[in-house]
A and B are shown apart, each in its own frame.
Chain A
């Protein structure tokens, strides 16, 4: 079974802090994704990566950056956290092209105070 592991289940940070969310997958997938999930808005794609050191903006990249130095690890960075970034963050990975399903981690519920 594919395993996508997010480093924290719950995280509380303060406004202005630099926040790192880590995601690791164990199935040698090329593609990795970061989403945020908010009530009434569903899942929205922040960034994705289809190869090491490659990244593409999703639908809502503002205020975020990402890093993919190794194939198995994809990090989401909040450069200066703000209260409107309080949300559930979901990481996913997939193999190959768009016909493959994405496999998700358990999510990180991030609160910015």
Chain B
């Protein structure tokens, strides 16, 4: 069975601080994909990034970066110089094997205060 754990339920930071959101996963599949989604207060889940199990390169996109480590089954997400607009619930998700399903973590509510 697949499982995604986001141990941080809520995080509160002050604008311009760096913040890391943790994601730990469990799977028996050798080929799998990891995703991060953002859900702002408006409600729509927005896809941020996908990473496959064979690619452990870190990824940077502007103020966002992702650190994938198979050895610790983690796929952590860092926001550098956070802004108020980053306030949202962030979900980590996993898919793999022969099914179409995404297994989501329970999400981390990030609040960035001015």
Q: Quick check: A107 and B43 within 8 Å, CB to CB?
A: yes
Q: CA separation between A52 and B35, bound complex, in Å?
A: 26
**Using Cβ atoms and an 8 Å threshold, which residues of chain A touch B42?**
106
B37 cross-chain contacts in A, Cβ below 8 A: 104
Contact A40 B100 (CB under 8 A): no
Does the CB pair A48–B101 fall under 8 Å? yes
Establish whether residues A42 and B106, one from each chain, have CB atoms under 8 Å apart when the complex forms: yes
Q: Which stretch in B18-26, B45-53, B59-67, B76-84 binds the other chain?
A: B45-53
How many residues of B are counted as interface, with CB atoms below 8 angstroms from the partner's CB atoms? 24
A102 within 8 A of B: yes
Of the residues A50, A98, A103, A106, contact of B47 by C-beta under 8 Å:
A103
B104 within 8 A of A: yes
Residues in chain A near residue B46, CB distance under 8 A: 104
Contacts A42-B91, A42-B106: A97 and B100 contacting too (C-beta < 8 A)? yes
